[in-house]
Amino acid sequence: MAILAAMLILFASSRVRYDLVALMGLMTVTLMGAVSPGDAFSGFGHPAVITVAAVLVISRGLLNSGLVDALVAMVSRVGDNLLVQIAVLTSLVAVCSAFINNVGALALFMPVALKIASRSGNPASALLMPLAFGSLLGGLTTLIGTPPNIIIANFRAEAGSEAFRMFEFTPVGILIALAGLAFVILIGWRLVPMRKGTRSVEDLYDIGEYLTELRVTEDSSVVGKTLRSIDDGDRDISVVAIVRGDRRLPAPSRRRILREDDVLIVRADTDNLKHLTDDLGMEMGEDSKLAEDAVQSEDLVLMEVVISPGSRAEERTATDLNLRRRYGVNLLGVSRQGSSLRGRLGNIRLKAGDVLLLQGGEDPMADILPEMGFLPLAERGLKLGTPRRLIVSGGVFIVALVAAALGLMAAQVALVTAALVMVLIGLISPREIYESIDWSIIVLLGAMIPVSGALESTGGAQLIADGLLRLSANAQPWMTVTIVLVGTMFLSDLVNNAAATVLVAPIALRVASGIGASPDPLLMAVAIGASCAFLTPIGHQSNTLVMGPGGYHFGDYWRMGLPLEVIIVLVGVPALLWIWPLGL
């Protein structure tokens, strides 16, 4: 229990990555003997882990085929009415989230939402939080919609019953999703502070404020020296372009020799500008438009990206990442919660949800996004794919769903087979298989499953279950379901939803055994509660991703999230007991 308490504190603090916290917990319970060495890594072969990985790969195949992009293209033609925009975007992301990874669905629709907000003049904050919440609600409706459903299905199988099938989550899930979407679309968005957030490159960053022209004079000490000579290693100076006569040299090499009358387009703060002018003898330029044109040349692109949870950039500085040397990409600005951060950008410790303004070539930019865990905010050129690819990818996916729903194949077997077929027919490249899998979630699940087993084997689950039974001893049975649902909701607002599911599921099974009831409604309550993290930006990756672009603060989420969770409890508990009776 002490180890579990320590893990929960670390999960909630976000000071250590959640996958590392899970591994630390696993090693600790293994060393203390609660988990045998032979079983320590058994979680990585668990059906839930395999199913989650297969769903992520299939999601990439559907994206590559253009199936989802076709929907996104339709959304981009929505008019300027804010209510219509929210209704269409939130509903479509919910539908997509039922069948593909909800973070992936959100990442597709978020750039479209920002473009629509910019075009219509509506605040981005009115669109993005409903979009994130819609992605969570949609995941409630199918087995593969969210990892908690997959985990709960396997807990049921381990308890001696048949695992929940593909659409057994749908009756309750769709009732909750419809009630939640109705609230979000009609009322919820009005409770969110109206902030513009980071709507576009032009709105977020005034390039002239970040970039300055400096001319290399005849008396400058850098004439004949390389570009490296202007930075002694302790300064935050980035030369994003050199203008030499009629030529523009974007993203110049640090080995480039400087000549008299070269104009350097420099990103630097006031202290470093003073060093360049006073110590190195360079002159300030006056035409800020020249700087802007040089940065946005045909050879380079400006792109806004958001740092996703688990990104390699999280909790590191720009200096640590060394984007320029490793990728040929310049960091021009950082925004957090809708406000641009000034000063020495190289010293800013980056966080999930921060928005970065990057400059670089198209190829380096394409490489850096998946490798660093950045999601683009500028709308991509949508590749709609060919009708054949759309039909084939959709057909493969539907066959897998039907096979799993009818029990012809175990869900993990059907989905891994579908993923393999997509690779063999060329929808997914071998490289994309590994890029599409969120390895932090895989490590989290693989480590937490044995920890959950330790909670069960040491009597911890029974101890907590006994406390819940005493609490609800004289209450109606529906109160027990409500306590499990609300308790899981609260936990998932603080820790990763997969971790919350793995920890609470064995307790729910013990409670069901203690009252002599069917475990099904309690397991379903855990699945719903774990997927309904609406009070904080740390409860789910979707909430974190919209924080920066929407300009939200930590305390903004509960304004819409709290009444939404109340609605989910009011709708969910009767629906659970109607469709999955306790059987007392």
pLDDT for position 172: 95
pLDDT for position 211: 59
pLDDT for position 327: 77
pLDDT for position 337: 66
Task: Compute the average pLDDT of residues 182-206.
Answer: 70
Residue 529 has pLDDT above 90, yes or no: yes
Split at pLDDT 50, 70, 90, the class of 280 is: confident
Split at pLDDT 50, 70, 90, the class of 514 is: confident
pLDDT: which is higher, 504 or 367: 504
Q: How many CB atoms lie within 10 A of CB 165?
A: 16
Split at pLDDT 50, 70, 90, the class of 339 is: low
Task: Compute the average pLDDT of residues 489-496.
Answer: 85
Task: Compute the average pLDDT of residues 108-133.
Answer: 84
Task: Compute the average pLDDT of residues 388-394.
Answer: 74
pLDDT for position 233: 60
- Specify which of 94-103, 132-141, 424-433 reaches the highest per-range mean pLDDT: 132-141
Task: Compute the average pLDDT of residues 327-341.
Answer: 71
* Distance in angstroms (rounded) separating the CA atoms of residues 157 and 134: 29
Task: Compute the average pLDDT of residues 291-302.
Answer: 56
Token pair for residue 197?
Answer: 């957030």
Residue 420 has pLDDT above 50, yes or no: yes
* Distance in angstroms (rounded) separating the CA atoms of residues 458 and 479: 27
pLDDT for position 378: 59
* Distance in angstroms (rounded) separating the CA atoms of residues 315 and 438: 18
- pLDDT, mean over the chain: 81
Packing angle of the helix pair 497-515, 520-531 (nearest 10 deg): 160
Q: Are 48 and 152 spatial neighbours (Cβ–Cβ below 8 Å)?
A: no
Closest CA to 445 of 150, 198, 177, 191: 150
Q: Which amino acid, one-letter code, is at 208?
A: G
Task: Compute the average pLDDT of residues 539-549.
Answer: 82
Q: Are 179 and 568 spatial neighbours (Cβ–Cβ below 8 Å)?
A: yes
pLDDT for position 43: 86
Task: Compute the average pLDDT of residues 341-353.
Answer: 70
Distance from chain centroid for Cα 405: 28
* Distance in angstroms (rounded) separating the CA atoms of residues 364 and 367: 5
Split at pLDDT 50, 70, 90, the class of 67 is: low
Helix (H) or strand (E) holding 174: helix 170-186
CA angle in degrees (0–180, nearest 5) for 519-446-429: 115
pLDDT for position 110: 82
pLDDT in tens, 392-418: 877 888 898 888 888 888 888 988 999
pLDDT for position 382: 40
Lowest mean pLDDT among 199-208, 269-278, 510-519: 199-208
Residue 576 has pLDDT above 90, yes or no: yes
Split at pLDDT 50, 70, 90, the class of 239 is: confident
pLDDT for position 34: 87
pLDDT: which is higher, 260 or 213: 260
Lowest mean pLDDT among 125-134, 469-478, 524-533: 469-478
Token pair for residue 374?
Answer: 């950045």
Task: Compute the average pLDDT of residues 480-509.
Answer: 88
Lowest mean pLDDT among 193-202, 211-220, 273-282, 511-520: 193-202
pLDDT in tens, 26-35: 999 999 888 8
Portion of the chain with pLDDT greater than 90, in percent: 20
Q: In this structure, are strands 374-376 and 247-250 parallel, antiparallel, or unpaired?
A: unpaired
pLDDT: which is higher, 133 or 295: 133
Residue 200 has pLDDT above 50, yes or no: no
Residue 210 has pLDDT above 50, yes or no: no
pLDDT for position 76: 66
Residue 555 has pLDDT above 50, yes or no: yes
Q: Are 74 and 341 spatial neighbours (Cβ–Cβ below 8 Å)?
A: no
Q: In this structure, are strands 211-216 and 238-244 parallel, antiparallel, or unpaired?
A: unpaired
* 366 φ/ψ angles, rounded to the nearest 5 degrees: -65, -30
pLDDT for position 69: 64
DSSP secondary-structure letter at 274? H
Q: Are 560 and 189 spatial neighbours (Cβ–Cβ below 8 Å)?
A: yes
Task: Compute the average pLDDT of residues 302-331.
Answer: 78
Residue 336 has pLDDT above 90, yes or no: no
Split at pLDDT 50, 70, 90, the class of 181 is: very high
DSSP secondary-structure letter at 328? S
Residue 115 has pLDDT above 80, yes or no: no
CA angle in degrees (0–180, nearest 5) for 410-415-416: 100
* Distance in angstroms (rounded) separating the CA atoms of residues 485 and 495: 15
3-class secondary structure, 293: helix
pLDDT for position 234: 64
| Angular region, 33: left φ>0, alpha ψ -120 to 50, beta rest | left
pLDDT: which is higher, 526 or 54: 526
Split at pLDDT 50, 70, 90, the class of 344 is: low
Helix (H) or strand (E) holding 244: strand 238-244
| Angular region, 214: left φ>0, alpha ψ -120 to 50, beta rest | beta
297-330 residues labelled b (16+ CB within 10 A) or e (exposed) = eeebbbbbbbbbbbbebbeeebeebebbeebbbb
Distance from chain centroid for Cα 254: 35
* Distance in angstroms (rounded) separating the CA atoms of residues 135 and 105: 7
pTM value is 0.73
Task: Compute the average pLDDT of residues 338-351.
Answer: 66
pLDDT for position 295: 52
**CA dist 476 to 199, 483, 576, 584, Å?**
50, 11, 15, 11
Split at pLDDT 50, 70, 90, the class of 565 is: very high
Task: Compute the average pLDDT of residues 373-397.
Answer: 66
- Specify which of 64-73, 317-326, 575-584 reaches the highest per-range mean pLDDT: 575-584
pLDDT for position 199: 43
3-class secondary structure, 310: coil
What is the set of domains in the chain, with CATH numbers? Answer: 2-198+395-579 (no CATH), 201-295 (3.30.70.1450), 301-376 (3.30.70.1450)
Token pair for residue 260?
Answer: 């008299």
pLDDT for position 206: 45
Q: Which amino acid, one-letter code, is at 334?
A: V
Lowest mean pLDDT among 228-237, 373-382, 462-471: 373-382
pLDDT for position 287: 47
